[in-house]
Structure 1
């Protein structure tokens, strides 16, 4: 069917949601609006669904959610006997509606659905999958995207986001499901009544808290440290769990940003509820200048990411995800080594776009560092490999540059709750030693050298956006630049072709990681440019690494690289 035929079908069939009915009526004479909603299906990618909330095949709504869930249900029923699925959801618009729609499909397919009584963070979903012995999990969230988006992340029985192989199986099953006639469905209330849907009990949440607290190293020092914190959950799910954990370790002086304390899917105070972006932290930064805390914590809507800023006189200094991750790795390694709690043959894991300083830290403490593809599920996958060998205790920490961190193996996704706890514990510990986090960061750079990491994002929205991203990647793949910013290309890696080429010798080395649409340009002076299309947003992402004796030197080099590479990309 073409777009107009699909539109007509939806006006006849999509009758359960008044918002969709009104939206469809409002665009009846707008061919461009109709085309944008129906020119393709919302794809179930390697991590699940994500898209704009609204009517149509290319939107997040109860019908696209039911269709995706039917595909997931077919996979579960084909792979497990007496299958069950855990479900959680965040504060986004219609998150609870989509979660209940998914539960209704699972229940109709004879699959037991466990759902939290209220919104809960992504790590709590991962934990519930494992704690309840479920076959799969669903987290309804669009993470840190703007308010118009929602999404749906699928998890395997290990509590990790589904692997590429499983995702492909689920995608094939979804593709065979008719939008309206295909999904089996009963109402949420009927599922509760017949026992196919149950609420997740408080004992699971308490068990999660106990596992988080078990990751502490110096929590005994926190209550007497005088640590002062400003916190913002950015109107998401972090408010209760983060504050609960901080209270339990003794951080009593916590000031919450009032405008961003309660759940609000409209995110009226921060159009981009992403702790990576300064705009999202403005209210927290303003409050910090008044309160003068030791640090500002900010978690994203599904509380799997956390960003920080540190007070410095009358100013507040933002830290990058790379810096926080590296500092946590250094803190964990240094203090566990001193205390004698470091496991034999310890392992840390990071993604390929994450700071190179981690390699220097790991080497210093005799820690094996594993690099994986971008996406925290690949970090979770490494924990699973260790678990299969009965060696999960070797894992000490994993992180990615986009503000995702995990200590412990109780969940298999990034966890802003445990990260918030460890960041506060680290700050409290250094405070007892007369150091701020800024001074601790400077000490790390003096020890290992200055590494500058910056992220560039280039938006390519609409029908033509996907084609533009493909054209950019094809061009760079075919004709990699010989130099950028005055630095010659030393090595070129194409993760889709699984090969690294030495530019000087022409020698090629196989890349053993799974194929991925990622290009790496290794330049002189340890500078690196990595480019990849986002898997969740209509963006090309560029990761820059520069080094120098000082921050100023590394920053100046980054600015040269960024200016020239933007020209190469055509932005």
Structure 2
């Protein structure tokens, strides 16, 4: 309440905020939710509901975060060089405002800001950081969250989202600041006029598209495809259409209701290509257009989802299925073309499918597993580069619809994902196959690995306490069986311990609040609190001899997941 009263007493330069604060004066629970904590800054940067309060996304929390970033960068600038930061935004509400406010704070702290003048995909921000030799990056986006959210992803000079160490350092600087008294800023127009802020030119955009095209797999036009595409009212349209044109895909129908940027996402309240509801407008259009493929990119265009025309029915494919297909396609094509590198490497995460292991074994590919978060995959790309062998990298993918087939950025890229998925669909179409046919061939060969994701939401302060209590309970009370199957191994990534029977081994990945249980039938269940949303995610992987058997195992595990959390 003290902080609430302080915000009311200050002359806020965003009039919407004062009005909003006054509207909740008789709602103590609402006031508590807005002010019980500061919006947390972590490896995912900031993410929260747009509005007034310390636990909301607004010009004051954005300025404070940027001041913390500026202080961190200046403190570590031992060479005294001119520092710079690249900034991008997607179609989110207040995205342009938050971008300009970030630039204004950086400029006041002697750090040059480079801003994209138009909305751009998140991977284009990662590219700009490296292309312009910046010391950090900021992307104003809430990815695939509902319209009421916005966010602030922070990047290091390597183009990866900040690591734990850098995030902790920035957070320490942020926590030392008063949100009103300690933030420096100059008017944005003044920063622009003085050269302390500068718009990123078309040359960088063109270089990004060229870099994506540079990792094309087929080497010939994918001109036999017919597509329906939706950018889900986000930032993908320009870059995705340009890259598809480059690879020869001309027959594209864009979903009209979702074609233009709109931070309210009026036709898909949850603009996530992982869920059917977000794709419904595209699926409706497919009934008349009858394309080979429906392609959907999320608002910041780092994730891509697809639906495949299978005998007139449009089948949605999961992120794991597309990742499996892409790895097999890239390995097969490179082998056929004689371009497969020596000691190839593919990178995925601990929550992604185990089905890649069989494909990797057949093609002699080393599979590296990382924690969830594409920055860890980016670290592996950088490691290969530092060893002088960037060509070894074939593909990085996450089960959450994120893919990258080249080292030109350090984040998942739906521009690249759209390109290689279309090349893959074209390749199989020439053989008289759909992508559904292709995955079924792989299932027959490697076993039916089916995956599912359960989300359990915990809103507000009480929700956060409940999440922590559940994780603490599981950490000290590992289940002996799940869904009727004996647990034969468990891993605690926070304590860095893997247990199988009486044997304990060390996990060498960075510490993370993740628990994994492996079952006697080859299935697994992973429990992980989201790093960007108030929810616990449970990742399920079921393996059976047939599709029906796998589906049955997953159904049992979904029921067991709820019981495991005591809900």
| TM-score, with length taken from structure 2 | 0.98
Q: What secondary structure sits across from 1:262 in the alignment?
A: coil
Alignment partner of 1:86 is 2:83: no
Q: Say which SS state the counterpart of residue 315 (structure 2) adopts.
A: strand
**Which of 339, 342, 356 is matched with 1:341 structurally?**
339
Matching residue of 2:506: 510
**Secondary structure of 1:296's partner?**
strand
Deviations 1:54-97 (A, max 9, x none): 00101000000000000100111122321100000010010111
The match for 2:233 is 235
Aligned 8 A contact 1:14 1:20 in 2: no
Counterpart CA distance in 2 for 1:231 and 1:352 is 30
- 8 Å Cα contact 2:303-2:403 kept in structure 1: yes
Report the Cα offset of residue 13 of structure 1: 2.2
The 8 Å contact of residues 219 and 425 in structure 1, kept in 2 or not, is answered as no
How do residues 397-416 of structure 1 correspond to structure 2 at under 5 angstroms?
397-416=395-414
Shift of 1:372: 0.4
- Structure 1 residues 14 and 509: alpha-carbon distance in aligned structure 2, compared to 1, 3 A threshold: farther
Pick from 544, 558, 564: which aligns with 1:562? 558
Q: Distance in 2 between matches of 1:495 and 1:237?
A: 35
Question: Any conservation in 1 of the 2:42–2:164 contact (CA below 8 Å)?
Answer: no
Give the match for residue 100 of structure 2: 100
* 530 and 447 in structure 1: CA distance in 2 versus 1, 3 angstrom threshold: same
Report the TM-score when normalising by structure 1. 0.98
Contact kept? 2:255, 2:285, Cα under 8 Å: yes
The corresponding residue for 2:150 is 150
Distance in 1 between the 2:560 and 2:13 partners? 52
Residue 313 of structure 1, CA deviation: 2.4
C-alpha deviations, 1:255-284, integer Å up to 9, x for none?
Answer: 111000000000111110000111111111
- Choose from 347, 368, 385 the match for 2:366: 368
For 2:9 and 2:40, the matched residues in 1 are separated by 23
Is 1:33 the equivalent of 2:30? yes
Structure 1: gaps of 5 or more residues: none
1:254 to 241, 252, 258: 252
Deviation at residue 14 of structure 1 after TM alignment: 4.9
How is 1:152-167 mapped onto 2 (pairs within 5 angstroms)?
A: 152-167=152-167
Query: What does residue range 7-18 of structure 1 map to in structure 2 within 5 Å?
Result: 7-18=4-15
Offset, 1:447: 2.0
Aligned mate of 1:540, from 536, 549, 553: 536
Could you say which residue in structure 2 is the equivalent of 1:438? 436
C-alpha distance in 2, partners of 1:468/1:524?
30
Query: What is the match of residue 307 of structure 2?
Result: 309
Q: Distance in 2 between matches of 1:446 and 1:63?
A: 55
The 2-side partners of 1:289 and 1:549 are apart by 34
Displaced runs of 4+ in structure 1, greater than 2 A?
Answer: none
Equivalent runs, 1:165-244 vs 2, <5 Å? 165-223=165-223, 225=224, 227-244=225-242
Contact 1:221 1:429 in 2 (8 A): no
Aligned residue number for residue 19 of structure 2 = 22
Q: Which runs of 5+ in 2 are unaligned?
A: none
Structure 1 residue 182: Cα displacement = 0.9
* Preserved contact between residue 450 and residue 549 of structure 1 (Cα < 8 Å): yes
Q: Give the aligned partner of residue 129 of structure 2.
A: 129
Query: Cα distance, 1:221 vs. partner?
Result: 3.7
Deviates more, 1:546-555 or 1:201-210: 546-555
Shift of 1:564: 2.0
**Deviation at 1:219?**
4.3
1:437 deviates by 1.0
Deviations along 1:193-233, whole A, 9 cap, x unmatched? Answer: 1100000010000011111011111141412x2x1000000
**Corresponding position of 1:429:** 427
* Contact kept? 2:221, 2:249, Cα under 8 Å: no
Q: Deviations 1:358-401 (Å, cap 9, x if unpaired)?
A: 11111111111100001111000111112222222211110000
How many equivalent residue pairs? 564
Matched, 1:48 2:77: no
Partner of 1:125: helix, strand, or coil?
A: helix
Paired residues for 1:262-281 under 5 Å: 262-281=260-279
Aligned to 1:382: 380
Q: What is the RMSD of the two structures over their aligned residues, measured on CA atoms?
A: 0.9
Determine helix, strand or coil for the equivalent of 1:120. Answer: coil
Q: Is the 8 A contact 2:126 2:155 kept in 1?
A: yes
Distance in 2, matches of 1:114 and 1:247, equals 28
CA offset digits 1:400-453 (Å, max 9, x no partner): 000000011000000000000000010011111111111111111122111101
